[in-house]
Amino acid sequence: MVALGMNSSVAFLSFLYITCVMSASWRPTPAPEPNSLVSSPNPEANSPEPSPATLADSPETQLPPTAEGLFDVTDYGAEPDGETETSSAFLEAWNAACSHNGDSTFYIPEGTFLLGPVSITGPCHNNQPPKIVIKGTLMAPPNLSAFPDTNWIVFQDLHGINISGGNGEVPNIDAQGEVEAWKRNSCSKSEKCNKLITSLRFNNVSLGTISNIAVSNSKGFHVAFLDCDNINVYNVSISSPGDSPNTDGIHVGMSTNINITSSNIGAGDDCISIGPGSRNISVSDVKCGPGHGISIGSLGKYTDEEDVVGINVRNCTITGTQNGVRVKTWPGAPASHASNFMFTDIVMINVSNPIIIDQEYCPSNSCKSTSEPSLVKLSNIHFKNISGTYNTESGVTLICSSGVPCENIHLIDINLNPTEPETPREGRFNVKGVVNGLEILNSSF
Ligand SMILES: *[C@@H]1O[C@H](CO)[C@@H](O)[C@H](O)[C@H]1NC(C)=O
Ligand SMILES: *[C@@H]1O[C@H](CO)[C@@H](O)[C@H](O)[C@H]1NC(C)=O
Ligand SMILES: *[C@@H]1O[C@H](CO)[C@@H](O)[C@H](O)[C@H]1NC(C)=O
Ligand SMILES: *[C@@H]1O[C@H](CO)[C@@H](O)[C@H](O)[C@H]1NC(C)=O
Ligand SMILES: *[C@@H]1O[C@H](CO)[C@@H](O)[C@H](O)[C@H]1NC(C)=O
Ligand SMILES: *[C@@H]1O[C@H](CO)[C@@H](O)[C@H](O)[C@H]1NC(C)=O
Ligand SMILES: *[C@@H]1O[C@H](CO)[C@@H](O)[C@H](O)[C@H]1NC(C)=O
Ligand SMILES: *[C@@H]1O[C@H](CO)[C@@H](O)[C@H](O)[C@H]1NC(C)=O
Ligand SMILES: *[C@@H]1O[C@H](CO)[C@@H](O)[C@H](O)[C@H]1NC(C)=O
């Protein structure tokens, strides 16, 4: 046993070599969350949009915008009655706004719009997309059969976007997952489950802000970024019940320089998940819960995944979640690198696994190999100033690969206590696999 409950002492354990589970009584039981739809190189999942409604379908009518540069979807025939399908009106308004010579705004006024799957596609006139303002509520068709692909609203090939919502009093993007999608979700039972539909999907979008928008009840992920760069997400609210399956809040994959800040995220899966190929991602001032916490991963599900480098998670409050801050990689994962992560100034309230590295991540026994170690090399991971409470046996869990050791893991100023005060016990530190360079400073858990 390594020193447990290292109160304020300084322990520097270099080349710590541990091959046993420190706390045999407890193992993380990751719930099923196959983050397979967005970050996967799986050609089926990432196939181009078949564009269920396109400009070609819509009549050539040119209704004048009510004000110069303002393109209001209701002027193009969208009925805010929550019952009339509006996707062709949306696309007509978008295409007019996108091709407008000068500043323009794509405007969705108050009211409820039933909207089927759409692709909001650029590039636009002068490579300057319209500003997008969503005051009302976009409601997805409840039935999965209305979705030929795995996305609801796709933003594609836009450079310089500004999307904002309302005052936070109405949901802006409601996918109605509760009606059919969550009930028919079978991902916990098999890897081949019904398609999961992402509500807001950003593909090849750069230089933008997404703010003051409320996204709820997604059928799958609420928001996902793929091949994006330089995006600021702030003051966003995401809400789905804790038991809604596979409803990640925000997923980032193959993207760089993404900031997520000042936002509230409650979901049935990870509040934020950061997948392969992500670099320079910053998460700050986020409140997370319910959900599965803020995760890097899962990594190593597919071959040829790109590295993950430079993730900063700061000043977040995580409440009542399955995990707090987590790094997860699949057993048997092919080689890649994941490095330079900082998790600082984080408050945990009654979280199950507040700090966890899990290189044996295998939801619903769906891995190809559980005996082969993950070959995702984890290095330079700092956990600093993390305090609060947890409700399991283990405040800190490090399940590292036995094939490629975790390198330079720092636990500094960690102060975690059981939610229910109880008699002292052992086993709050669960370590498995190989760690080279573990520093524990001024910490108790
Ligand atoms: C939607 O699903 C419900 C129940 O699953 C079914 O009764 C209804 O016919 C479906 N509607 C459409 C338009 O497919
Ligand atoms: C985006 O639009 C919002 C709301 O109109 C505005 O406050 C903000 O300054 C804009 N951001 C940028 C980068 O243009
Ligand atoms: C954030 O959203 C709230 C309402 O949801 C609003 O009152 C506030 O002004 C917004 N803050 C910013 C910086 O836009
Ligand atoms: C982004 O654009 C590149 C180059 O056009 C393309 O190869 C890639 O598939 C696009 N990514 C997405 C998610 O659409
Ligand atoms: C993200 O935040 C960092 C540090 O706060 C800042 O330097 C960077 O410009 C921000 N990126 C975007 C896309 O706003
Ligand atoms: C990450 O951010 C740093 C500093 O803001 C910058 O120098 C570097 O180029 C960025 N990396 C990528 C991959 O964009
Ligand atoms: C931390 O985040 C909260 C919102 O959760 C914000 O009100 C506060 O200003 C942030 N503090 C710092 C030091 O950034
Ligand atoms: C530690 O984190 C908490 C919560 O974000 C913050 O209030 C506090 O100021 C931080 N302490 C230090 C020394 O930075
Ligand atoms: C802590 O979480 C556990 C399990 O999620 C729950 O049963 C318990 O009521 C919570 N306790 C508090 C004080 O919130």
Whether 72 and 52 share a structural domain: no
Whether 21 and 5 share a structural domain: yes
Domain count, the chain: 2
pLDDT of 25: 27
Return d(Cα 279, Cα 253) in angstroms, integer. Answer: 9
Catalytic residue (choose from 222, 251, 292, 410): 292
Position 150 in a domain: yes
Position 277 in a domain: no
Query: What proportion of the chain, given as a percentage, has pLDDT over 70?
Result: 83
pLDDT of 424: 63
Pocket-forming residues, ligand 3, beta carbon under 6 Å: 167-168, 211-212, 235
pLDDT greater than 50 at residue 14: no
Name residue, tokens 């696999």.
433
Q: State the pLDDT confidence band at 426, using cuts at 50, 70 and 90.
A: low
Indicate whether residue 203 lines ligand 4 (CB < 6 A): yes
Position 338 in a domain: yes
Whether 160 and 17 share a structural domain: no
Helix, strand and coil content of the chain, in percent to the nearest 5, comes to: 5, 45, 50
Provide the b/e sequence for 141-155 (b: ≥16 CB within 10 Å).
bbebeebebbbbbbb
The CATH number given to whatever domain includes residue 190 is 2.160.20.10
Q: Which atom of ligand 4 is found nearest the CA of 226? A: 13
Residue 125 in 3-state DSSP? helix
Whether 134 and 99 share a structural domain: yes
Return d(Cα 19, Cα 286) in angstroms, integer. Answer: 36
Q: Provide mean pLDDT across the span 275-294.
A: 98
Whether 430 and 323 share a structural domain: yes
pLDDT, tens digit (0-9, with 9 covering 90-100), for 287-321:
999 999 999 999 999 999 999 999 999 999 999 99
Domain boundaries, position 174: 67-166+170-269
Q: State the pLDDT confidence band at 48, using cuts at 50, 70 and 90.
A: very low
**Residue 178 or 12, more confident:** 178
pTM of the model: 0.88
pLDDT greater than 60 at residue 32: no
Q: Kindly report the protein residue whose alpha carbon is nearest to atom 7 of ligand 7.
A: 285
Position 283 in a domain: no
**Of the residues 238, 269, 300, which one is the last residue of a structural domain?**
269
pLDDT, tens digit (0-9, with 9 covering 90-100), for 124-155:
999 999 999 999 999 999 999 999 999 999 99
Whether 47 and 74 share a structural domain: no
pLDDT, tens digit (0-9, with 9 covering 90-100), for 333-372:
999 999 999 999 999 999 999 999 999 999 877 777 778 9
Whether 137 and 117 share a structural domain: yes
Pocket-forming residues, ligand 9, beta carbon under 6 Å: 320, 350, 391, 419
The ligand whose atoms approach the alpha carbon of 235 most closely is: 3
Q: Which atom of ligand 8 is found nearest the CA of 344? A: 2
Query: 273: closest CA among 224, 334, 237?
Result: 224
Mean pLDDT of the chain: 86
pLDDT of 185: 86
Whether 124 and 71 share a structural domain: yes
Q: Provide mean pLDDT across the span 409-430.
A: 85
Contacts of 423 (CB under 8 A, 6+ apart): none
Position 314 in a domain: yes
The ligand whose atoms approach the alpha carbon of 183 most closely is: 1
pLDDT of 166: 87
Q: State the pLDDT confidence band at 192, using cuts at 50, 70 and 90.
A: low
Cα 314 → chain centroid:
16
pLDDT of 367: 76
pLDDT greater than 50 at residue 18: no
pLDDT, tens digit (0-9, with 9 covering 90-100), for 198-221:
999 999 999 999 999 999 999 999
CB 344 within 8 A of CB 385: yes
Whether 351 and 379 share a structural domain: yes
Position 106 in a domain: yes
**Of the residues 269, 300, 321, which one is the last residue of a structural domain?**
269
Q: Provide mean pLDDT across the span 45-50.
A: 35
Position 284 in a domain: no
Residue 140 in 3-state DSSP? coil
DSSP string covering 149-169? SSEEEEEEEEEEEEEE--SSS
pLDDT of 10: 34
Provide the b/e sequence for 246-262 (b: ≥16 CB within 10 Å).
bbbbbbbbbbbbbbbbe
Q: State the pLDDT confidence band at 328, using cuts at 50, 70 and 90.
A: very high
Is position 292 annotated as part of the catalytic site?
yes
Q: State the pLDDT confidence band at 28, using cuts at 50, 70 and 90.
A: very low
pLDDT, tens digit (0-9, with 9 covering 90-100), for 91-108:
999 999 999 999 999 999
pLDDT greater than 60 at residue 64: no
Position 145 in a domain: yes
Q: Provide mean pLDDT across the span 413-432.
A: 83
Site to substitute for ligand 2 among 209, 235, 259, most atoms within 8 A of C-beta: 209
Pairing mode, if any, of strands 294-299 and 272-274?
A: parallel
**Of the residues 211, 235, 269, which one is the last residue of a structural domain?**
269
Whether 336 and 444 share a structural domain: yes
Pairing mode, if any, of strands 131-134 and 214-216?
A: unpaired
CB 293 within 8 A of CB 331: no
pLDDT greater than 70 at residue 5: no
pLDDT of 79: 98
Whether 188 and 124 share a structural domain: yes
Q: How many CB atoms lie within 10 A of CB 48?
A: 10
Return d(Cα 72, Cα 63) in angstroms, integer. Answer: 10
Whether 239 and 363 share a structural domain: no
